[in-house]
Chains A and B, each alone.
Chain A
């Protein structure tokens, strides 16, 4: 057997994988998989399982994945109960099999959340996230109407803080890890990105109110400060963004309450 850094390079695994058709109840299926290289990624291991199933004439497990380099946010597996698996700060596609033991049983499930219904097996519908963005996660700027870029100075610390929040890949691990199925980390990240930039001030209040309203309507739960989202976020987005979301939401509501029309302040800031 070839060695990788002095360790055995293949594993024999027992896999418990979720099988479900849309709108029907699901169940675990058990499969044995031999000779999994430790250098393979978790999704490559799933590819091997699927190729084995094809040889046996069985249907493969559907799962979402695309870039396989940790940036598109499409991969979404709950591995041994943990969204994106046991390693901090990585997506499922960047998790490698050297992090597992020979003979181990691995449980693979889809994201579990009311707002993310299962489409098939391990693939879920995350369009609720898109709806939240559509309701306000933008700065209104028509193509062609932008001013010269350097007319809007952004202090470096502000740009850096916006970038920290903007790193969110929209994978949904925060929701899947939360007992309440809350999307506050996702929404907070976008609010933080746009609400602290000078370009984002004009729509600050209406953005915050609209995104929170859509979030609530989409069936996401409330934040009760478990902190699981932060622990499982592959981009290490922190709970600070939730605190700032709460602050901006309160601010916008207060301004709404005291405005004569009862509508969000027109002035923004």
Chain B
């Protein structure tokens, strides 16, 4: 597998501008002769599709939801970073770059991250012009807040619904182009295969989820912005439909998948309440500003109500272990600490599967200090949401929280142009791997999705198209399209015909149990080896015993789920293998063998690279390749929060 990162030469600060000046252009009159397929309509997909159409290309955009406005970018709460330095507190492009590269534990590509910081300011301009109602000062100018432990206030926000408002902005730009006929929008369509002609991406195969019709589409280039793979853990903060199928199908056609083991766990989610739970709900991290995290010192106290446990019998474990950061320790560190105390049997809350998986987040000290009114003013909506879900009043008793999978940093490998190793296949947003390294900082996912969609892909895709002859795209009657169409039809027919005894959800849950326990917050060699064996057995069982009800010619949610779970099973094996072969701890990837008294121990000499996996065939383990990460201007250091 050839992995050329195509990082431009020259000083970091000049790379993007120099590169843009060299990228080829397409004559406006020729642009309408090119057809661009965009898969996914979240921040990256909507922004890219709208931008391409504005430039004059013919665009088709596909999403599985009933409207492009529903993509899961909509659920992001906190905000979006940008190096505007409106607060005069010393922020700059270089500082945002440094924070992001350090937050990623030095496992991201320097040049990409620098570019991200550079275009961050343009994103805010674009969104404001679209009418995104960001928070304002009384003078009418934009407000900022500090977020995720950053030392400057660079986060722009729209109440607790920043993702929603940014997505609605991108959706409005996309809608305008749909109304003008420049984008053809296909909702309730799922991409089930990528079509390659002469080694280049030239189209996709989709299934219309309403009619069941399987169809192929030819294009000059394919842009995949289909989000992350957090649902490989079954329970996560992702939407129910989020899946790995589009990227995994591309992977099966030859696209390298980079760093699948980099997954982010968010410490403040509402704990699991029972076996029938389908979703974990995130609560803003800001709660940790005023809440104190604790569990009982003695396991015997865990079943008692919190009020019956005296102060001296409580273990404020984050304050104890990390005196200088205390309850504000970074996401990965706070999450692991919570897991450790629960593994010791000191978790609180309901027994689920014989365990209590939760820790208290206690506001009683803050209420005493500031009064209930002030806490209500700061967090009222979160307390209401908590009560709605758990039935508990967090003003009267401590909240219970537990970590949950939230974001996945790994994704399809891309070069500096966001092009995968398959020519003509571009990947944007969470679906690619390049910008967050081993851990993502708060308020940077929205930034990356929009940066890719508005300000990177329009340039780099144009450069690629300039090398493709106008009108040279193949016809849908080409044998490659017919073969891919047959593959998809066969697979759908196979899933419907197995007629076993267990539901797709049964397998999804079983998959999630294995990945969460063995490849979640802490990983070790024996566990990962066992997980790979268990997942292989589960995959074999799936293809013998799954029962998919419904029919192929109508809305069939079980068929959709079965196809996604089948890909997640193969993907889960690759994720565990990646975790097994990365013999170090970094960011969200914690190998218990590689630690310094509980702190992650990186091995820069051997693992300062992206691991890129190549599909080798059904039932076989993928092959590992590497792209060395070259740091020209960054000094690698150890994160310490003690």
A residues at B contact (CB < 8 Å): 2, 4-5, 21-22, 37-41, 43-44, 47-48, 50-51, 53-55, 57-60, 62-69, 71-74, 90, 94, 96, 98, 119-121, 123, 125-127, 129-130, 133-150, 152-156, 159-160, 162-163, 166-167, 169-170, 193-194, 197, 199-200
Main secondary structure of the interface of A (DSSP, over half): loop
Cβ-defined contact, B172 with A133, below 8 A: yes
Q: List chain A residues, Cβ under 8 A from B389.
A: 41, 94, 96
Could you show 15 A-B contacts with beta carbons less than 8 Å apart?
A38-B391, A39-B390, A57-B549, A67-B75, A67-B240, A69-B237, A69-B281, A137-B172, A139-B130, A143-B173, A146-B130, A154-B133, A154-B140, A160-B136, A199-B129
Q: List chain A residues, Cβ under 8 A from B161.
A: 71, 167
Is B50 an interface residue when CB atoms closer than 8 A count as contact?
A: yes
Is B165 an interface residue when CB atoms closer than 8 A count as contact?
A: yes
Nearest 7 pairs of A and B residues by beta carbon: A153-B140, A134-B179, A146-B129, A138-B172, A120-B555, A163-B133, A146-B125
Residue from B134, B165, B278, B458 in contact with A44 in the complex, judged by beta carbons closer than 8 Å: B278
Please measure, in the bound complex, the distance between the C-alpha atom of A149 and the C-alpha atom of B140, giving whole angstroms. 11
Residues of B16-74 contacting chain A, CB below 8 A? 47, 50-51, 54, 65-70, 72, 74
Cβ-defined contact, A146 with B128, below 8 A: yes
Q: How many residues of B contact A (CB 8 A)?
A: 84
Please measure, in the bound complex, the distance between the C-alpha atom of A123 and the C-alpha atom of B66, giving whole angstroms. 10
Cβ-defined contact, B67 with A170, below 8 A: yes
Closest B residue, CB atoms, query A4? B391
Residue from B72, B273, B277, B555 in contact with A67 in the complex, judged by beta carbons closer than 8 Å: B72
Cβ-defined contact, B74 with A71, below 8 A: yes
Is B241 an interface residue when CB atoms closer than 8 A count as contact?
A: yes
Taking A59-B550, A166-B133 as contacts, is the C-beta distance between A146 and B555 under 8 angstroms?
no
Cβ-defined contact, B276 with A47, below 8 A: yes
Q: List chain B residues, Cβ under 8 A from A149.
A: 84, 124-125, 127-129, 142
Find the residue from A21, A134, A136 having the highest chain B CB count within 10 A: A134
Residue from B54, B131, B454, B554 in contact with A199 in the complex, judged by beta carbons closer than 8 Å: B131
Q: List chain A residues, Cβ under 8 A from B159.
A: 163, 167
B139 shortest CB reach to chain A, Å? 7
Please measure, in the bound complex, the distance between the C-alpha atom of A58 and the C-alpha atom of B385, giving whole angstroms. 35
In addition to A96-B388, A121-B555, A138-B175, 7 A-B residue pairs with Cβ atoms within 8 Å of each other are A40-B276, A58-B549, A69-B282, A144-B454, A149-B125, A163-B165, A193-B131
Q: List chain B residues, Cβ under 8 A from A66.
A: 65, 70, 72, 239-241
Q: List chain B residues, Cβ under 8 A from A143.
A: 47, 50-51, 54, 126, 173, 454-455, 458
Q: List chain B residues, Cβ under 8 A from A47.
A: 276, 278, 505
Cβ-defined contact, A72 with B70, below 8 A: yes
Taking A147-B129, A194-B131 as contacts, is the C-beta distance between A71 and B75 under 8 angstroms?
yes
Q: List chain B residues, Cβ under 8 A from A146.
A: 122, 125-126, 128-130
Is B8 an interface residue when CB atoms closer than 8 A count as contact?
A: no
Cβ-defined contact, A60 with B65, below 8 A: no
Is B446 an interface residue when CB atoms closer than 8 A count as contact?
A: no
Residue from B176, B350, B392 in contact with A134 in the complex, judged by beta carbons closer than 8 Å: B176
Cβ-defined contact, B555 with A68, below 8 A: no
Cβ-defined contact, B131 with A197, below 8 A: yes
Please measure, in the bound complex, the distance between the C-alpha atom of A167 and the C-alpha atom of B158, giving whole angstroms. 10
Please measure, in the bound complex, the distance between the C-alpha atom of A44 and the C-alpha atom of B274, giving whole angstroms. 11
Residue from A5, A135, A147 in contact with B392 in the complex, judged by beta carbons closer than 8 Å: A5
B residues at A contact (CB < 8 Å): 47, 50-51, 54, 65-70, 72, 74-75, 84, 86, 122, 124-131, 133-142, 158-159, 161, 164-165, 168, 171-173, 175-176, 178-179, 185, 187, 210, 237, 239-241, 273-274, 276-279, 281-282, 350-351, 385, 388-392, 454-455, 458, 503, 505, 547, 549-551, 554-558
Please measure, in the bound complex, the distance between the C-alpha atom of A149 and the C-alpha atom of B136, giving whole angstroms. 12
Cβ-defined contact, A127 with B557, below 8 A: no
Q: List chain A residues, Cβ under 8 A from B555.
A: 22, 62, 119-121, 123
A14 shortest CB reach to chain B, Å? 19
Cβ-defined contact, A64 with B273, below 8 A: no
Q: List chain A residues, Cβ under 8 A from B68.
A: 130
Please measure, in the bound complex, the distance between the C-alpha atom of A143 and the C-alpha atom of B503, giving whole angstroms. 45
Taking A48-B276, A141-B173, A163-B159 as contacts, is the C-beta distance between A148 and B70 under 8 angstroms?
no
Q: List chain A residues, Cβ under 8 A from B187.
A: 127, 130
Please measure, in the bound complex, the distance between the C-alpha atom of A4 and the C-alpha atom of B273, giving whole angstroms. 11
Q: List chain A residues, Cβ under 8 A from B276.
A: 37, 40, 44, 47-48
Please measure, in the bound complex, the distance between the C-alpha atom of A166 and the C-alpha atom of B130, giving whole angstroms. 12
A104 shortest CB reach to chain B, Å? 17
Closest B residue, CB atoms, query A54? B503
Q: List chain A residues, Cβ under 8 A from B54.
A: 142-143
Q: List chain A residues, Cβ under 8 A from B350.
A: 2, 39
B189 shortest CB reach to chain A, Å? 13
Cβ-defined contact, B133 with A67, below 8 A: no
Find the residue from B133, B171, B273 having the highest chain A CB count within 10 A: B133
Taking A120-B555, A147-B125, A159-B136 as contacts, is the C-beta distance between A137 and B175 under 8 angstroms?
yes
Cβ-defined contact, B128 with A199, below 8 A: yes
Q: List chain B residues, Cβ under 8 A from A156.
A: 136-138, 140
Closest A residue, CB atoms, query B504? A54
Q: List chain B residues, Cβ under 8 A from A194.
A: 131
Closest A residue, CB atoms, query B282? A69
Residue from B135, B210, B505 in contact with A22 in the complex, judged by beta carbons closer than 8 Å: B210
Cβ-defined contact, B67 with A126, below 8 A: yes
A207 shortest CB reach to chain B, Å? 11
Cβ-defined contact, A119 with B210, below 8 A: yes
Taking A40-B274, A119-B555, A197-B133 as contacts, is the C-beta distance between A73 and B140 under 8 angstroms?
no
Please measure, in the bound complex, the distance between the C-alpha atom of A62 and the C-alpha atom of B555, giving whole angstroms. 7
Closest B residue, CB atoms, query A98? B391
A134 shortest CB reach to chain B, Å? 4
Taking A69-B75, A138-B172, A197-B131 as contacts, is the C-beta distance between A54 and B240 under 8 angstroms?
no
Please measure, in the bound complex, the distance between the C-alpha atom of A66 and the C-alpha atom of B278, giving whole angstroms. 11
Q: List chain B residues, Cβ under 8 A from A167.
A: 159, 161, 164
Please measure, in the bound complex, the distance between the C-alpha atom of A126 and the C-alpha atom of B68, giving whole angstroms. 12
